[in-house]
Structures are given as structure tokens and as C-alpha cells.
Amino acid sequence: KPLLAIPYATRAMSAASSDSAEIATGSKRPFDPSLADPSPPSKLQRFSQSDISPADADSGGEAGAESEAMAGARLSRTQRYLVAVEYDGTRFSGSQQQPNQRTVVGVLKDAGVHALSNVCHVDVERISKRKPGEVLPPHDPEVVKCAVNHFLHKNEGDIMVTDVRCVAPDFHARYKALERTYHYRLLSGPERPSIFEKNSAWHIPEDLNIQAMKKACNILVGHHDFSSFRAFGCQAKSPVRTLDELTVTEVFPVMFFPSSLERSEMESPDGSLVYSRASLMGSSGEGSDVSSTTSGKSVCENGQEFGKRLRHRCFVVTARAQSFLYHQVRLMVGLLKAVGIGDLTTADVERILDAKTMTAAPPMAPAYGLYLDNVKYDPIV
């Protein structure tokens, strides 16, 4: 409680996700987290519209990097903090401030997309409560983290600050980022997914050919004109990007509860987990390159235990680059899904990439399967 009685004023904030467009759905604006509570206590000053510096959208803002950094440097009485945030995007209506809508900007100052670690910077000026106008030494980062999380958890509790660090006045969360990593979760299987998975992965009823998807990934990796993988509204000056990684990996489902057989096979004598692909595939599919539900159907026909659901196979698409175009990741996942179910071939992938037109790619994947995993900076940060 003593931490929460410390008044401070927030002067500016900017987010790191240049691929912020991935965080929005439909016609929503790009992702723009800012550290403001929609109804903060009187001890915390509100953001004014001019205080917020949304810079996470890849909207050709490269030219503004120097001017924004200089503006931050001029705030000589403030401390700039680098803030890592984790959030469930399910109940957000978008990223930037919108009238009568709950947004990350309005709470933490996307729609549907989640973040394991998104990053923004914020300038905080600590003002004396007893002597208005007197500027006090900056708070310790841990104090800022605890205080902000207290107010966030009093509301919906779907946003949390996970790390705070002091940085130089001219440090910019977006323009200093060296690399961004996104994951996309796919659940493959004929049954509808559990209600616990409803807003955390894209359900694909068909079997997925993971080897065909991997070949498609190899075509897209590298330095290309990704005009076919940018959505209308993209304001990036150039469609050329370098995609450092695009992979598809089969993983355990998040909601994984082992059967009695699996419990015996997956645990070593010392109690630690032993990853056994055979034990997982034994109850969720054949484990072949082209997924199969034959074994699952057989169990069901032979009297599967009442109330037990067949498991889906879970795949994670990982995309890594310094920056992405508007909806680029979701458009690439939509393409990989089409390849995985056999609607497109690797030759089609090359044709779509070479077309360099926004209408060439199949529909993009929904937002709720997408996770911003990490924003990488220079080790000195």
C-alpha cells in the first residue's frame, strides 16, 4: 500500500511491436499498448491524448524515430522505463484509443491477439505529494511494476506488467528493437475444441500435412517483397522484409492431462518429465507426417470411456523477423493452413509470393491464435 501512495505523472509512451497490426482483427487499428488505467485513482494522473505516443504500428513511422527520441530526451525531469507486459487479448476491442471501447491503450494505455511479452516505454515524473511541483528522484523499477500491477489487477486482471527497467531518455521501444517473435497455435481434429481452448487457438477440422507446411515455410523465409502478405491499410513505406524464421512444430496441447498409461511413460524415477512423442501420439493420432485420427476413431468405436474427449493435435507456427507488415503473420498462417489441408501446393506458394499483390493470398488466420512472444533488444538494455 505505501507503494501505491506515491504520485507520479506519465509523460509519454510508445510500444515496441512494429507488427502491431497482427494484434488487431478485422478493420481494427494496430496494437498500441500504453500504461494507463481507464479509471485511475486521483493519485495517478491520467494520460492526455497528446501524452500518448503510439509507435507500435508498422505505418511508415521510421521517419519519426529521431524526432520522437529527441522529444523523450527533452523531458529532462522524467525517468524513461522499458516495460514488458503480458495480456490476454480476448476481451479487447482493438489497440488504439476508441470511443466507448475497452482497449489496451485505454487500460494499459489488441483485439483478440495475446502477448507473452510485449514491450513499451514510458516516461514517468515523480512529483512530491507534500510539496506540489517538487520533483523527486525516480522510483525503483520494481516499485513501478508492483504499483501498476496493483491497479491493473483491480480491474479485469487480463493485463500484467512482467518486467520494468530504467533506460536512457532517448531509448525507443519500437525503433531500438532488433527482433520480434510471434507464435500461432493451430488445433487439428474433427471435434470442436474445448471451451478452455476457444480463444487460444485456431481449430482446423481437417488433418494437416506438416511436411507440406514445412516446405511452404522454406519458400517464404528470406528477403522478399511481401506485398502478397500485407493487408489493406498497411502504411509501411516498403513491402520488403527479411523473414529470419518461419517454422511449424508439433507440440503438446496446452490443456494436456495425461492418461494413466501416459503418466507411467512420461515420468522418470526422480519425478521429472520425460518427453515421449510415442506416448502423446498413442492417444492423439498416428504421429505420421500427415496427421490421422484413425486410432482415435477406433478407440471410440470400441467403447471409449464415457465423457472423455479425443485430443487434437497441436501445431505452433513461429515467425521471427526484425519487423513485419500489417497482418503479415496471420496471412502467412492462412497460407500454411491452405497448404496443410491440401488446397494449395508449394508451387502455389511461390506463385502467390511472386504475385506481389494484396489479393493473391488466401484469407488470413483469425487473431485469437496469435501470440507475441518476445521483442529482442541489444544486451545492454
For 76, the 3-state DSSP assignment is coil
Considering the domain architecture, whether residues 261 and 337 belong to the same structural domain is answered as yes
- Asked which of 132, 166, 200 is the last residue of a domain, the reply is 166
**Cα–Cα nearest to 336, from 175, 119, 186:** 186
Active site residues: 110
Top-confidence residue, 53 or 10 = 10
Considering the domain architecture, whether residues 366 and 257 belong to the same structural domain is answered as yes
Amino acid 153: pLDDT:
85
Compute the distance between CA of residue 7 and CA of residue 17 in angstroms, rounded to an integer.
29
Considering the domain architecture, whether residues 87 and 200 belong to the same structural domain is answered as no
Residue 347 cell numbers, joined: 508451387
Q: Has residue 290 been placed in a domain?
A: no
Give the number of other CB atoms < 10 A from CB of residue 251: 13
- Predicted confidence band of residue 261 (pLDDT cuts 50, 70, 90): confident
Contact yes or no for 93/182 (Cβ under 8 A): no
- Predicted confidence band of residue 350 (pLDDT cuts 50, 70, 90): very high
Compute the distance between CA of residue 156 and CA of residue 2 in angstroms, rounded to an integer.
23
E-strand stretches of 265-358 = 313-321
Considering the domain architecture, whether residues 160 and 182 belong to the same structural domain is answered as no
For 11-40, the pLDDT digits (tens) are 455 666 644 434 433 333 333 333 333 333
Amino acid 78: pLDDT:
87
Considering the domain architecture, whether residues 240 and 321 belong to the same structural domain is answered as yes
- Vertex 127: Cα angle to 126 and 133 (nearest 5): 145
Q: Has residue 67 been placed in a domain?
A: no
Q: Give the contacts of 281 (CB within 8 A, at least 6 positions apart).
A: 287
Q: Which CATH number covers residue 202?
A: 3.30.70.660
Amino acid 93: pLDDT:
53
Considering the domain architecture, whether residues 160 and 113 belong to the same structural domain is answered as yes
Q: Has residue 284 been placed in a domain?
A: no
Average pLDDT value for the chain: 74
pLDDT value at 184 more than 50: yes
Whether the model pTM is above 0.85: no
Sort strands 222-225 and 240-251 into parallel, antiparallel or unpaired. Answer: antiparallel
Domain of residue 367 covers 178-265+311-377
Top-confidence residue, 341 or 270 = 341
Considering the domain architecture, whether residues 84 and 127 belong to the same structural domain is answered as yes
Considering the domain architecture, whether residues 353 and 328 belong to the same structural domain is answered as yes
* Torsion 217-219-223-229 (CA) sign: negative
As a whole number of Å, the end-to-end CA separation of the chain is: 29
- Predicted confidence band of residue 284 (pLDDT cuts 50, 70, 90): very low
Of all helices (H) and strands (E), which one includes residue 352? helix 346-355
Amino acid 308: pLDDT:
78
pLDDT > 90 in the chain, percent: 42
For 29-83, the pLDDT digits (tens) are 333 333 333 333 334 333 333 333 333 444 334 445 545 554 544 445 789 999 9
Considering the domain architecture, whether residues 134 and 158 belong to the same structural domain is answered as yes
Residue 44 cell numbers, joined: 495517478
Residue 315 cell numbers, joined: 501445431
Residue carrying the nine cell digits 523477423: 321
Q: What is the mean pLDDT of residues 135-152?
A: 92
